[in-house]
């Protein structure tokens, strides 16, 4: 049975790298729209479906939970079909489930589609770090920045366009379903770039889906804790930033644009931070700086969301954009082989996303209980600071 390995790429193959990187970027861009599109439509969905703040949070929590629980499927998909077809399968699942959202405006249908979307995201996203380690080992930091920028850009466009799209279609289910077009386009490009990606002979980690994970590795647990916290913060941003700004007096359209601005700043930071730090093995300095800046942004939004709003948006954008890229780089920088990188990522996604799924629900519960977001976002700021604990242990031991 084939294991993950580093295929040889001679100098003449360098011409194919831009196409491979583009395919990676577009694939990553499909992993957030199905979730980010919900936030600017939250009020419409809540009214039509008769949901509370806690209920509307389920549309973010369910796919996030599915992403965690289904992450081990990526190992099985990669092992059975290889990285090329494994990622393609994930994109196909995302496209089909997203398209199905257009068939109705019932809570059951939307939550079911959200769960299947999360499963598709889990398959594709868990395999992408192994793709980076296999195809772009000498440019891991930069390429990780490229595909995390794809993650951010997909979310930014979805956050900014979904509300106007719903107005144009006179249908929020139609607006949600429209993002299937991007998923199918990503699947087509991934197929076209097959020879450039050169992944046909590279398969996923060996062993059973969960028993093959590095349960006894202290490094794996540190990565998982960091990934869980990072994911919790990210999905709380997607789910609740626009409603927080709306509660602070901003119109729905402006709140959606501010969310788009936040994610756009994060995209720039995702590219800039790895470039500034370089391909260094020890990422702790960058992690500490971005954690602190992220905490500042959350604290500002908790205590004064209507005052100096752009300052908090910029701090959170630069901080969490850089942090997001560094967290996704950690499984690559802390691993010795492609297989180990895939195992670290699978465990981080399996447990990390499952744990992170509770965060948007907790924010919704606190919002329903207190009437505002002050306590919830204060806790997010405090939780961000706690990420310094796993960061302190991020020392690779060869």
pLDDT tens profile 344-360: 877 887 787 777 788 99
Between 205 and 122, where is the model more confident?
122
pLDDT tens profile 113-139: 999 999 999 888 878 877 877 777 777
CB atoms within 10 A of CB 181: 12
**For 106, left (φ over 0), alpha (ψ -120 to 50), or beta?**
beta
pLDDT tens profile 38-60: 888 888 898 898 888 888 888 88
Confidence of residue 362 (pLDDT cuts 50, 70, 90): very high
Q: Does the structure show a pLDDT above 80 at 191?
A: yes
For residue 382, the model assigns a pLDDT of 97
| 8 Å CB contact between 48 and 172 | yes
pLDDT tens profile 223-234: 999 999 998 998
> What is the average pLDDT score of the chain?
84
Between 364 and 328, where is the model more confident?
364
For residue 284, the model assigns a pLDDT of 85
Least confident of 110-119, 176-185, 264-273: 264-273
Q: Does the structure show a pLDDT above 80 at 336?
A: no
Q: Does the structure show a pLDDT above 90 at 239?
A: no
For residue 56, the model assigns a pLDDT of 86
| Cβ neighbours of residue 294 closer than 8 Å, sequence gap 6 or more | 233, 315, 316, 319, 320, 323, 384
For residue 208, the model assigns a pLDDT of 41
Q: What CA dihedral angle connects 325, 366, 49 and 58, to 10 degrees?
A: 40
What's the pTM value of the predicted model, to 2 decimals?
A: 0.77
Q: Distance between CA atoms of 20 and 390, rounded to whole angstroms?
A: 33
Q: Does the structure show a pLDDT above 50 at 5?
A: no
Q: Distance between CA atoms of 381 and 273, rounded to whole angstroms?
A: 21
Query: Would you call 280 helix, strand, or coil by DSSP?
Result: coil
**For 163, left (φ over 0), alpha (ψ -120 to 50), or beta?**
alpha
Q: 22: exposed, middle or buried (C-beta count within 10 Å: 0-12, 13-18, 19+)?
A: middle
Over residues 226-253, mean pLDDT: 88
**Which tokens hold the place of 365?**
């519960």
How many Cα atoms within 13 Å fall on the side-chain side of residue 182? 24
Q: Does the structure show a pLDDT above 90 at 385?
A: yes
Q: Distance between CA atoms of 230 and 356, rounded to whole angstroms?
A: 8
Q: Does the structure show a pLDDT above 90 at 72?
A: no
Over residues 104-112, mean pLDDT: 89
Q: Does the structure show a pLDDT above 90 at 99?
A: yes
For residue 201, the model assigns a pLDDT of 62
Over residues 304-325, mean pLDDT: 92
What's the count of helices (H) and strands (E) in the chain, helices before strands?
18, 0
pLDDT tens profile 136-173: 777 776 777 787 778 888 988 898 889 889 989 999 99
Q: Is the dihedral of CA 286, 287, 289, 290 positive or negative?
A: positive
| Exposure string over 313-323, b if 16+ CB within 10 A, otherwise e | bbbbbbbbbbb
Over residues 92-104, mean pLDDT: 94
| Long-range CB contacts (within 8 A, 24+) of 329-332 | 329/140, 329/141, 329/144, 329/145, 329/274, 329/283, 330/223, 330/226, 330/283, 330/394, 331/129, 331/223, 332/129, 332/132, 332/133, 332/140, 332/144
Confidence of residue 15 (pLDDT cuts 50, 70, 90): low
Q: Distance between CA atoms of 33 and 30, rounded to whole angstroms?
A: 6
């Amino acid at each position: 049975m084939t294991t993950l390995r580093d295929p040889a790429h001679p100098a003449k193959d360098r011409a194919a790298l831009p196409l491979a990187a583009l395919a990676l970027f577009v694939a990553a861009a499909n992993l957030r729209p199905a979730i980010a599109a919900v936030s600017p439509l939250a009020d419409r969905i809540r009214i039509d479906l008769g949901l509370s703040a806690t209920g509307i949070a389920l549309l973010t929590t369910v796919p996030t939970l599915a992403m965690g629980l289904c992450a081990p499927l990526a190992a099985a998909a990669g092992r059975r079909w290889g990285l090329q077809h494994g990622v393609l399968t994930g994109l196909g699942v995302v496209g089909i489930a997203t398209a199905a959202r257009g068939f109705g405006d019932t809570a059951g249908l939307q939550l079911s589609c959200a769960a299947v979307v999360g499963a598709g995201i889990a398959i594709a996203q868990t395999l992408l770090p192994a793709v980076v380690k296999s195809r772009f080992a000498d440019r891991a930091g930069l390429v990780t920045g490229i595909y995390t920028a794809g993650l951010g850009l997909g979310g930014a466009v979805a956050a900014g366009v979904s509300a106007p799209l719903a107005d144009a279609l006179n249908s929020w289910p139609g607006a949600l379903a429209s993002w299937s077009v991007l998923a199918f386009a990503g699947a087509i490009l991934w197929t076209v770039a097959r020879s450039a990606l050169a992944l046909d002979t590279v398969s996923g980690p060996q062993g059973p889906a969960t028993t093959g994970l590095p349960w006894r590795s202290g490094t794996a647990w540190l990565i998982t804790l960091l990934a869980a916290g990072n994911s919790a913060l990210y999905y709380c941003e997607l789910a609740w930033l626009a409603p927080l700004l709306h509660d602070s007096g901003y119109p729905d359209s402006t709140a959606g644009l501010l969310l788009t601005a936040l994610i756009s700043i994060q995209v720039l930071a995702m590219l800039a931070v790895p470039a500034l730090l370089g391909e260094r093995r020890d990422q702790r300095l960058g992690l500490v700086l971005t954690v602190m800046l992220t905490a500042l942004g959350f604290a500002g939004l908790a205590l004064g969301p209507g005052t100096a709003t752009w300052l908090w948006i910029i701090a959170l954008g630069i901080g969490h954009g850089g942090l997001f890229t560094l967290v996704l780089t950690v499984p690559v920088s802390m691993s010795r082989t492609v297989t180990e990188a895939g195992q670290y990522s699978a465990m981080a996604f399996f447990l990390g996303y499952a744990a992170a799924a509770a965060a948007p629900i907790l924010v919704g519960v606190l919002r329903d209980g207190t009437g505002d977001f002050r306590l919830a976002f204060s806790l997010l700021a405090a939780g961000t600071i706690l990420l310094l604990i796993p960061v302190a242990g991020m020392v690779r031991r060869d």
